[in-house]
A and B are shown apart, each in its own frame.
Chain A
Amino acid sequence: MKRTISILIENKPGALARAVGLFHQRGYNIESLNVAPLTDGTYSRMTVITKGTENVVEQITKQINKLIDVIKVSDLSEGEHHEIELIIFKFIKSKYNTRIQKILRKKKISVIERSDVVTVAIIDENSDFDSLVKSIGKNNIHEIVRSGGVGIHETEKNLNL
C-alpha cells in the first residue's frame, strides 16, 4: 500500500543522509523523496512516498522518529491529505503539437516557450504521471523531471514545530 510520510528534520549537515540511509538499512523502499527548508531555515520538511503494510509503515515512522535530528513524523495516509507533484516536460518545438497541447491544457500548467523547445511545468494533483506520459506518448517528450510528491493534510491539522 502506498503511504505518504511527512518528516520535519533539523537542517544540519548529514541529517538527510541519516533519514534516507535508514530506509535502506531497514529494508524499506522509497518511491519518491522531496525535501526543502522551511521558514527560518533551521529545519526542513521531507515528504517520502513509500510502500508497505501497516506494520512496516508503523516501523518506518517509529524508526525515523528515533533519529536524533528528526523533530516530527506523520503518516499523512492515515487521514485525508493532498499529495501534489511538480512534473516538468520539455518538448522539441516541432513535436509540441496541438494534440499534446490539448491534453496538457486540462492541467494546471505553466509554459515557457523558446524558438527551439517548449518547457511545460505541470502541477499534478492526481498522481497520474504514468497515464499522462502514456497519453502524450513517451517518444514525444524530450526530457522529464519530477519533484516527487509533496504532502499536506487536507484539513486544519498541521505538522508544524
Chain B
Amino acid sequence: MKYSGGELLLKALKDEGVKFIFGYPGGAALHIYDAIFRQKYVDHILVRHEQGATHAADGYSRATGKPGVVLVTSGPGATNAITGLATAFMDSIPLVVISGQVQSHLIGTDSFQETDMIGVSRPIVKHSYLVQSAEEIPSIVQEAFYIAQTGRPGPVVIDIPKDKTDPLHKYKYKKPAKPYLRSYQPKIKPHPGQIKKAAKAILSSERPVIYAGGGAIYSNAAKELSELNKILKVPVTNTLMGLGVYPAKNKLFLGMLGMHGTYQANMAMHNADLILAVGSRFDDRITNTPSLFAPNAKIIHIDVDPASISKIIKADIPIVGQVKDSLQALIKEIKRSKIKIDTDAIDIWNIQIDKWRKKHGLDHDLYQKKLKSKMIMPQVVVQELYNVTKGNAYVTSDVGQHQMFVAQYYHFNKPRRWINSGGLGTMGFGLPAALGVKLAFPKQEVVCVTGEGSIQMCIQELSTCLQYGLPIKVVNINNEALGMVRQWQDMNYGGRHSASTYQNSLPDFVKLTESYGHVGLKVTKPSNLRKTLEKSFAMKDKLVFIDVLVDPNEHVYPMLVAPNGSMKDMWLSKNKKT
C-alpha cells in the first residue's frame, strides 16, 4: 500500500494519537484536506478564523496536557495563526501547527498566498520544519510532537509545500523509529547535590514561601507539591499560570501573587527568608522592580529550562529538571534529612501571614453584601459563578480586568481548570479556548469569562460552537469600556480615556448570540444575577451567552506600585497605598 504525502501526514497524526485538528482550508492545504475527508480517525474542527484554531488547540492542550494540532493554509492562513503561536510560545504550550505552503518551485517568487511561514514564525516557535520531501513527513511529524511536549513545551510549525502532499506521488508508510536528536536532550532528573542543598536551605528557613507557576502544572506535579507541603506546612502562592496546582481551599494558600496578587501573597514574598520557585519564571508582572525584589530571601529555583534560571532574579540554588522529578527528589531528601524544620518559627510566620490576610486580604463574601447595591460589581459576578458551578468548572478567560477578577475570586482547587493567556495577554483567547476544552471534556461545565472588548476579537467562533454542538457558557463582564486600559488611564493619565470607550457602538449581545443560533441573556440588576446564572447552567445542551452589565468604575486591586516599587508596595484601593 502506498500513500500520498497528505495521507502520510494523516497516518502520522493518527499514530501520535491525535483526535482533533483545528483548522481552516485553503489552496495550499487542499491535498491535505482531501486526505482528511478520506479517513475516519482524526476529526477536523472547522473554525471561523485561524486565530481561533490556534487558541482552540491551545485550550484543548492546556486542559488535557496533550498537544493541540492546527492546520492552516499558506499566506493569510499562516499569518492569522501567528497570534495563537505567540500565545502558546509565551505560556509554553505544546502545539503542532501545520501550514500549507505554495509549491516548492514557486517559493521565493511572491506567488499567490505565499508567506515565508518559517521566517515569520521563527521567534515564536520552539522549532519549525519546512518539508523537503514527502517521504520525510512521518518522521518530521513524530519529531515535532516529541519536541513540542518534552523539556519546556512549546509550539512547533511544520510548513508543507503543496507538491509534497500531491496524491499523484505515492510512498510507502513506515512508522518512524523513536526520535533521537544529538542536539536536543532535555534534562529531566535534577542534580542530587542541588537537591541536598535545597533541602537543607528549606529546612533551615524560618519564613519560607513556595511560589509555584505554570511549569508545575505542565509537569503534572500538583500531587507532589501538596505532598511536599504536608511535610513543610509553609505558605504557598501561585502565579496566574499556576492557579489550581495548589488547592485554593487549603488554608496555607495565599492566593495569586504579583501585579494583582493578594496583599498576603505579595507581603509574604517580600518578607520571606527563602523562596522556593517551582516552575515559575520571575516574570516582570511578579517581581515588580527586580533590584528591590525579596531583599532577604534565599532563592531556590526549579525549572526544566536552564535559561529561565537566574534570568531576572539570581538563584542561590538552581535546580534544572522536570518539576515533578525534582519535587519527588526533594521530598525524599527532606524525609531522610536529620535537620527538621523549625515548626515554631513556621507557626509565627503563618500567624503573621494571617494578620496580613485579615488586614487587607480579598473579601470573598462580597456577593452576600453587595446584593442590594444598584450596579453589579464585576467581582461579584465571579463569586456567584463560583457558587453556581461549585468551583468545578473549567474556566477560560480573555485578557483584562475580568481575567484578574477570575484569578482573584474563583478558587481553583485542581490544575488545568484555569485556562488563560498569561504571558502574551491575548484578547480573543477565551472563546476559542473554551471550545477546545469542551471538545476534550464534553460532560464538564466549561465557562468563558470575558469582557465586551475581548469577546469581539474572536466572537465568530460562536458559529463553530453551533456547528459542533458545544454548549459552553459565556459570561460577559460588560463595563462598556476597555476596563484595564481605562484603569491605567485613571491611575496614570489623569483620567483621560483615550480610545478606551465605544460611544454607544456596542452590539446587542443577546441578539447577536441569538443570530448565531444560541441563547442570549442579559443581566443588569444584582438581584437577577444568581438566578440568571443558575438558569443558564440548567440549559445543559445550549450555549448561553450571559451579558452582565457591571459597575464601570471598578478597578482591580491590589495593584503593585510601579515604577520603582517592590512587592510590598501596593495600591489597595483608588486612594490607599501600603
- Max chain B Cβ within 10 angstroms of own Cβ: one of A58, A66, A71: A66
Note all chain A residues with C-beta closer than 8 A to B126: 68
Q: Is the CB of A58 within 8 A of B122?
A: no
Note all chain A residues with C-beta closer than 8 A to B490: none
A63 touches which one: B118, B119, B307 (CB < 8 A)?
A: B307
Q: Does B552 contact A (CB under 8 A)?
A: no
Q: Does A70 contact B (CB under 8 A)?
A: yes
Of residues 106 through 122 on chain B, the ones whose CB sits less than 8 Å from some CB of chain A are 118-119, 122
From B52-60, B178-186, B345-353, B495-503, the one touching the partner chain is B178-186
Q: Is the CB of B130 within 8 A of A13?
A: yes
Q: Is the CB of A25 within 8 A of B123?
A: yes
Which residue on A lies nearest to B310, using beta carbons?
A58
**Minimum Cβ distance to chain A for residue B449 (Å):** 33
B140-169 interface bits toward A, Cβ cutoff 8 Å, 1 = contact, 0 = none: 000000010000100000000000000000
Note all chain A residues with C-beta closer than 8 A to B147: 68
Chain B: how many interface residues by the 8 Å CB criterion? 20
Q: Does B354 contact A (CB under 8 A)?
A: no
Q: Is the CB of A62 within 8 A of B127?
A: no
Q: Does B333 contact A (CB under 8 A)?
A: no
Q: Is the CB of B123 within 8 A of A59?
A: no
Q: Does A137 contact B (CB under 8 A)?
A: no
Chain A: how many interface residues by the 8 Å CB criterion? 21
Of residues 24 through 42 on chain A, the ones whose CB sits less than 8 Å from some CB of chain B are 25
Given contacts A14-B118, A62-B306, A62-B307, contact A21 B123 (CB under 8 A): yes
Q: Is the CB of A66 within 8 A of B183?
A: no
Q: Determine the distance from Cα of A25 to Cα of B124 in the docked complex, in whole angstroms.
A: 10
Q: Does A10 contact B (CB under 8 A)?
A: yes
Q: Determine the distance from Cα of A60 to Cα of B268 in the docked complex, in whole angstroms.
A: 32
Given contacts A13-B130, A59-B311, A63-B307, contact A69 B183 (CB under 8 A): yes
Q: Is the CB of A21 within 8 A of B307?
A: no
Given contacts A58-B310, A63-B307, A68-B147, contact A10 B119 (CB under 8 A): no
Question: Interface residues of A: mostly helix, strand, loop or mixed?
Answer: helix
A17 touches which one: B122, B182, B305 (CB < 8 A)?
A: B122
Q: Determine the distance from Cα of A14 to Cα of B123 in the docked complex, in whole angstroms.
A: 12
Note all chain B residues with C-beta closer than 8 A to A58: 310
Q: Does B128 contact A (CB under 8 A)?
A: yes
- Max chain A Cβ within 10 angstroms of own Cβ: one of B126, B152, B307: B307
Q: Is the CB of A21 within 8 A of B122?
A: yes
Note all chain B residues with C-beta closer than 8 A to A161: 182
Q: Is the CB of B118 within 8 A of A68?
A: no
Interface residues of A (CB under 8 A from B): 9-10, 13-14, 17-18, 21-22, 25, 55, 58-59, 62-63, 65-66, 68-71, 161
Q: Is the CB of A17 within 8 A of B119?
A: yes
Q: Determine the distance from Cα of A17 to Cα of B128 in the docked complex, in whole angstroms.
A: 12
Note all chain A residues with C-beta closer than 8 A to B130: 13-14
Q: Known contacts A10-B183, A65-B307; can you find 8 more A-B pairs with CB under 8 A?
A: A14-B130, A22-B123, A55-B310, A62-B307, A65-B306, A68-B127, A70-B183, A71-B183
**Minimum Cβ distance to chain B for residue A75 (Å):** 14
- Max chain B Cβ within 10 angstroms of own Cβ: one of A9, A63, A68, A70: A68
- Max chain A Cβ within 10 angstroms of own Cβ: one of B122, B152, B183, B310: B183
**Minimum Cβ distance to chain A for residue B564 (Å):** 21
Which residue on A lies nearest to B127, using beta carbons?
A68
Q: Is the CB of A68 within 8 A of B183?
A: yes
**Minimum Cβ distance to chain B for residue A19 (Å):** 11
Q: Which 9 pairs show the lowest CB-CB distances between chains A and B?
A: A62-B307, A68-B127, A71-B183, A25-B123, A68-B184, A63-B307, A62-B306, A66-B307, A21-B122
Q: Determine the distance from Cα of A55 to Cα of B184 in the docked complex, in whole angstroms.
A: 24
A71 touches which one: B119, B152, B182 (CB < 8 A)?
A: B182
Name 23 interchain pairs, CB-CB below 8 A, sorted by A.
A9-B183, A13-B130, A14-B128, A14-B130, A17-B119, A17-B122, A21-B122, A21-B123, A22-B123, A25-B123, A58-B310, A59-B307, A59-B311, A62-B306, A62-B307, A63-B307, A65-B306, A66-B305, A66-B307, A68-B147, A68-B181, A69-B127, A161-B182
Note all chain A residues with C-beta closer than 8 A to B152: 66
Note all chain B residues with C-beta closer than 8 A to A22: 123
Q: Determine the distance from Cα of A58 to Cα of B310 in the docked complex, in whole angstroms.
A: 9
**Minimum Cβ distance to chain A for residue B284 (Å):** 15
Which residue on B lies nearest to A58, using beta carbons?
B310
**Minimum Cβ distance to chain A for residue B7 (Å):** 25
Note all chain B residues with C-beta closer than 8 A to A65: 306-307
Which residue on A lies nearest to B122, using beta carbons?
A21
Q: Determine the distance from Cα of A59 to Cα of B119 in the docked complex, in whole angstroms.
A: 23
B300-311 interface bits toward A, Cβ cutoff 8 Å, 1 = contact, 0 = none: 000001110011
Q: Determine the distance from Cα of A21 to Cα of B123 in the docked complex, in whole angstroms.
A: 7
Which residue on B lies nearest to A26, using beta carbons?
B123
**Minimum Cβ distance to chain A for residue B538 (Å):** 49
Q: Determine the distance from Cα of A62 to Cα of B311 in the docked complex, in whole angstroms.
A: 10
B122 touches which one: A9, A10, A18, A70 (CB < 8 A)?
A: A18
Q: Determine the distance from Cα of A65 to Cα of B305 in the docked complex, in whole angstroms.
A: 10
Note all chain A residues with C-beta closer than 8 A to B306: 62, 65
